[in-house]
Copies of this chain bind each other. A is one copy, B any other.
C-alpha cells in the first residue's frame, strides 16, 4: 500500500491515520547503510549481483532458521524456509500454487483489505467468517465448512493475520488456534498464517504460531522485514513443510528469475548477522508501545459515549466501532475537511455493509502530537454526527 494511491488527498500538514506503514523516522536507515557498504566493499560483493538460489540468500535463510527456532520454537531446518519478495510476494506465490480461478478460500470478517484485493483479482470465491475479540469463531467456521461440503466444495486455504491483526489489532489465543487447526485437518484446507506484526509486541510474547502448534502440517507461515526494518527492501520469508518449499521453489517464476531479490536479501543478511536487527527490534517495540499508549489515552479522553475500540498488545492498529446509526464513511468525509484521514471499515469486509460502523486507526505512522490531535478531531466529528 502506498501513500500516494491510498489517499490522493494527502498533503503536507495532514494527519494520515490510515497509513499502515512504519514511521519513516523509526527505520534503521543508518545501520542498514553501514551493513550495505560493508558488504558491497567486501570479498563477497560479486555474489550480490548475479542470479540467486531459488529459495533465496543462503546466509539469510540460515540466520532466520536459527532465530525462528530460538524465538518461536519452530523446530525448523533450512529446507523449511525460503526468502520472498515481501509477504506480498509470498501471498501471490501461494495463490498461484494453491488455487485456480473459482476456488474457495476462507478469511476473517474483517480481514486485511489488500489480501482481499489479491483474492478478488484471482477470481477466488471468498468466504468471510465473523470474529470476536479472540479472532475467528470456530463454530461459525465449521458452519461455513459444512455448507461448502454440502455443495461438494473444499476451500483451498484459510488466510489469517493471527497476531495484532490488520485491521482489528486483536490476537488469537492458542486455544482458538488449536480449534482452527483441528478443523483444517478435518476439512483438509491449508492455513496461510500472515504473521508480519508478531515481532512488534508490547507486552508478553504472543501465543505459539499456527505453525508451531500444528507441527507444520499444512501451515504456510509468512514473515516479513517490512514492518520492523524497511518495506522498501521487499524482503520476507515463508516457513512450511520441506515438501512444500521444494515444490514452491521449483516454480517457473523462480526458475526464471532466481530467488527473491538476491541483492537486498544479501544486504539484509549482513545487517541481521551483526545483531543489529534484534537490537533495533527491542528499541522499536518501545517506540510503537508509546504511540499505542498515546492513542489509547487520547481515545479514553476524547471519545464520546457509545464508541468502543480494541486495545492491541502489539502491531500498528486500533479498530474502532461507532455508535449505532453512525457511518464511518460520513465521518471520513467530515474529518477530511480538517485534514484527518483513516481507513473506513467497509474495505476490510467481503460484504462492505458489514463494516459501516467500523474504522481502522494506524498509530504507527504519525508522530505523537499528530496522533493525539487526529484522535481529538475524530472524536469531535463523531460527537457532531451523534448530535445530528
Question: What is the interface of chain A, defined by CB distance below 8 A to chain B?
Answer: 1-6, 21-22, 24-25, 27, 29, 32-33, 36-37, 40-41, 45-46, 48-54, 85-86, 88-89, 91-92, 96-97, 100-101, 114-123, 230-234, 251-253, 255-264, 266
Contact = CB atoms under 8 A, between A and B. Distances in A.
Contact of A48 (B29, B116, B261): B29
Contacts of A4: 53-54
Contacts of A41: 33
A21 B37 contact: no
B85 A257 contact: yes
Given A49-B27, A51-B3, A51-B21, A234 B257 contact: yes
A49 B21 contact: no
Contacts of A121: 96-97, 251-253
Contact of A234 (B114, B255, B261): B261
A51 B261 contact: no
Contacts of A122: 96
Given A24-B50, A234-B257, 19 more contacts: A2-B53, A2-B255, A2-B259, A3-B51, A4-B54, A27-B46, A29-B49, A33-B40, A33-B41, A50-B231, A51-B231, A85-B89, A92-B253, A96-B121, A100-B101, A121-B253, A232-B261, A234-B261, A263-B264
Contact of A24 (B40, B49, B86, B92): B49
Nearest to A263: B232
Contacts of A36: 36, 40
A90 B3 CA distance: 23
Contacts of A233: 49, 261, 263
Contacts of A259: 2
Given A4-B53, A51-B1, A52-B2, A118 B252 contact: yes
B252 A49 contact: no
A320 B97 CA distance: 35
A114 B5 contact: no
Nearest to A113: B255
User: Counting chain B CB atoms within 10 Å of each CB, which of A2, A36, A54, A260 scores highest?
Assistant: A2
Contacts of A230: 48-50, 263
7 contacts: A2-B255, A6-B255, A36-B36, A49-B232, A114-B256, A118-B251, A118-B256
A174 to B, nearest CB: 28
Given A2-B259, A88-B257, A252 B33 contact: no
